[in-house]
Amino acid sequence: SQQGEEDPQALSIQEGENATMNCSYKTSINNLQWYRQNSGRGLVHLILIRSNEREKHSGRLRVTLDTSKKSSSLLITASRAADTASYFCATGLNQAGTALIFGKGTTLSVSS
């Protein structure tokens, strides 16, 4: 089963612009993670934010988490053509050893 929704489903921007993707989820979580997937490839972990954190940065990535609204956002600053990919949020539940549940994803296209 899927945990939630990302929006937008698709986003097209120019190089240098910022890209913001949002994710909502339904249940209580231990952490929320963002992954990137290039077409036809596996997933690459980008960043993890724990349920007791509100904001986290990693390079050009900024993630926020609002547990009261059950939502998260991923901001990619100064985007590059190489950032073109699908981005998924995934939630880790409070139960040990459980899998991640993925959202529907946002497809980002960055034009040069």
Partner 1 sequence: GAVVSQHPSWVICKSGTSVKIECRSLDFQATTMFWYRQFPKQSLMLMATSNEGSKATYEQGVEKDKFLINHASLTLSTLTVTSAHPEDSSFYICSARRSGRVTGELFFGEGSRLTVL
User: Would you tell me which residues interact with partner 1 (CB under 8 A)?
Assistant: 1-2, 30-31, 33, 35, 40-45, 48, 88, 90, 92, 96-105, 107
Q: Report the C-alpha gap between 31 and 27 in whole angstroms.
A: 11
Compute the least distance from the CB of residue 17 to partner 1, in Å. 24
Compute the least distance from the CB of residue 7 to partner 1, in Å. 13
Task: Tell me whether the omega of the peptide bond preceding residue 8 falls within 30 degrees of 0, making it cis.
Answer: yes
Amino acid letter, 35: Y
Question: Beta strand 71-76 with 19-24: parallel, antiparallel or unpaired?
Answer: antiparallel
Give the nearer residue to partner 1 in terms of CB position, either 76 or 101.
Answer: 101
Q: Count the Cβ atoms, other than its own, within 10 Å of residue 12.
A: 13
Give the nearer residue to partner 1 in terms of CB position, either 14 or 98.
Answer: 98
Query: Which run of H or E residues covers position 48?
Result: strand 43-50
Compute the least distance from the CB of residue 53 to partner 1, in Å. 13
3-state secondary structure of 82: helix
Give the nearer residue to partner 1 in terms of CB position, either 14 or 26.
Answer: 26
Compute the least distance from the CB of residue 40 to partner 1, in Å. 7
